[in-house]
Amino acid sequence: MPVDPHAVTSPVLETVALACERDWRLLFEGLDLSLHGGDMLQVSGPNGSGKTSLLRLLSGLMRPTSGEVRLNAQPLDKLRGELARNLLWIGHAAGIKGLLTAEENLAWLCALHEPAERAAIWQALEAVGLRGFEDVPCHTLSAGQQRRVALARLYLDAPPLWILDEPFTALDKQGVAQLEAHLARHCEQGGLVVLTTHHTLALTPSGYRDLDLGRRAA
């Protein structure tokens, strides 16, 4: 059977007895998660409960106090190149450089895992409602438009695992509804999404679940 080069490889993301301590404060411990392609995990909880910290651990941006994170059965710290190919991280600061245009920002962000063609970048910007803003320096865009530039990466040839910290920040109602639908579609197609948001999702995929860090506080 011919292999489809665009098929999403179903990711498996696991944590084993994960613990996180910051500034001598234990945020959580004994966290065991097993997430597969098709799942969406919404990490919720009050300010300071450790949501961003957990996402940073899952992305390999921070090391756990104890325990382990595994992607496709491999410990994260052994997976540098493969991690970049499999994971898309969008932090809660949009990560957009003000002096670069929307197109230039996307070109260098994509280069981290899969360089993108100009036509594909313009299509992604159109998908997030930024047609006509491709050549504009990003410092002249509104907060919501800058967030849309960052989110346009989700419309390019994105890897299967998306880890998104407060992706709905600054989006208008239409932007929120469109992003919810896009995330649910990614999961229904075999992708995996882990996100934080204080917003109640109106649309979730069948593999949705919630982890409330407030309720399992250490």
Contact residues: ligand ATP, CB under 6 A: 22-23, 25, 27, 45, 47-53
Closest CB 124 distance from ligand ATP, rounded Å: 27
The token duo for 202 is 């109106």
Number of Cβ within 10 Å of residue 182's Cβ equals 17
Which of 42, 105 has the CB closer to ligand ATP?
42
Q: How many residues does the chain have?
A: 218
Which of 25, 185 has the CB closer to ligand ATP?
25
Closest CB 72 distance from ligand ATP, rounded Å: 25
Closest CB 138 distance from ligand ATP, rounded Å: 23
| Contact yes or no for 101/137 (Cβ under 8 A) | yes
Which of 47, 174 has the CB closer to ligand ATP?
47
Closest CB 18 distance from ligand ATP, rounded Å: 13
Which of 124, 211 has the CB closer to ligand ATP?
211
